[in-house]
Chain A
């Protein structure tokens, strides 16, 4: 399959630990988005990449959150000093070009912080 993939599918960690979440977008898609979804809520925007650069990181809640996309393909979302409130499903999406209306979502990583 050529869809968006995310690893791991589930991550359980302890408060204060560091975690990395990975996203593999659809091959050739230049735009990549990270969202966070809590139970019973819609996806909440975190950060958007166009190519290698973060075009909009206004959704990152604080400086514990950081994301990179060094080669313009795979992206890693990094969370330092995790807190229980960080528990959520982290969704990645990609689109062929900046501004494309259809975003293709991955299955998400369920993060649980104990």
Chain B
């Protein structure tokens, strides 16, 4: 089985930087996703990391360390609209199906 752990809730200030961590335990790791989900809406794809290192995409960056079973999502220049749940998900064992963590609810306040 897989075990994915991320904080339940985080708060941050508009304009600041926030880092959302995700740790996982799995065998046959293939890759790690980050999704954003606003309340009552569908998850939307943010990133997919396969190799170690940092991948930057605008205000959002995602980091992966395969040896440590660790990833983080970095959000810069926070905006109120970034208030959402951020889901970490892992693909492993050659499966096409990602396993999702419980999500981190991010609250951005003025």
Contact = CB atoms under 8 A, between A and B. Distances in A.
B97 A45 contact: yes
The listed residue with most A CB atoms (<10 A of its CB), out of B33, B48, B98, B101, is B98
Interface stretch (B38-46, B54-62, B74-82): B38-46
Contact residue range for chain B? 20 to 34
A43 B87 CA distance: 9
A33 B97 contact: yes
Given A42-B87, A42-B89, A103 B100 contact: no
Interface stretch (A13-21, A60-68, A71-79, A105-113): A105-113
26 contacts: A4-B42, A33-B97, A40-B8, A40-B102, A41-B103, A42-B87, A42-B89, A43-B87, A43-B100, A45-B97, A45-B99, A55-B96, A59-B97, A98-B96, A99-B96, A101-B31, A101-B33, A101-B48, A101-B91, A102-B45, A102-B48, A103-B45, A103-B98, A104-B45, A105-B42, A107-B41
7 A-B pairs with least C-beta separation: A42-B100, A105-B42, A101-B48, A102-B45, A45-B97, A105-B43, A43-B100
